[in-house]
Amino acid sequence: MEIILDESNFEKELKESTFPFFIDFWAEWCGPCQMMGPVISEIAEEYQGRVRMGKVNVDENPNLAGQFGIMGIPTFILFIGGAEKERQVGVVPKEKLVHMLNVNLK
């Protein structure tokens, strides 16, 4: 299950998470974001109970996009212990995102 994050709940959700947090920065109008949506949903199901999945709409949350230097979307950031561990930008194969998670979850 993916959690909708915004400027009002982002810090709280990130700090209170006992799991690594994988966040998808996206926008409604973004074709590549729409292409990656089903992939992110699959990963959310496969990693349920091990990783929290979140989505941030950059149009609705420009301060968060600026805070994390989001220059292109989709951008996927993995946070561990509240700190950014790794990021991927653009349309990437599911295997690349799975590899990113597996390497960092060891």
Among the listed residues 5, 23, 30, 39, the single catalytic one is 30
Residue 34 CA to residue 25 CA, distance in Å, equals 12
Residue 60 CA to residue 25 CA, distance in Å, equals 11
Among the listed residues 5, 33, 44, 100, the single catalytic one is 33
For residue 47, give both structure tokens: 């990693």
Residue 46 CA to residue 57 CA, distance in Å, equals 23
CB 4: neighbour CB atoms within 10 A?
11
- State yes or no: is 30 an active-site residue: yes
- State yes or no: is 33 an active-site residue: yes
Active-site positions read 30, 33
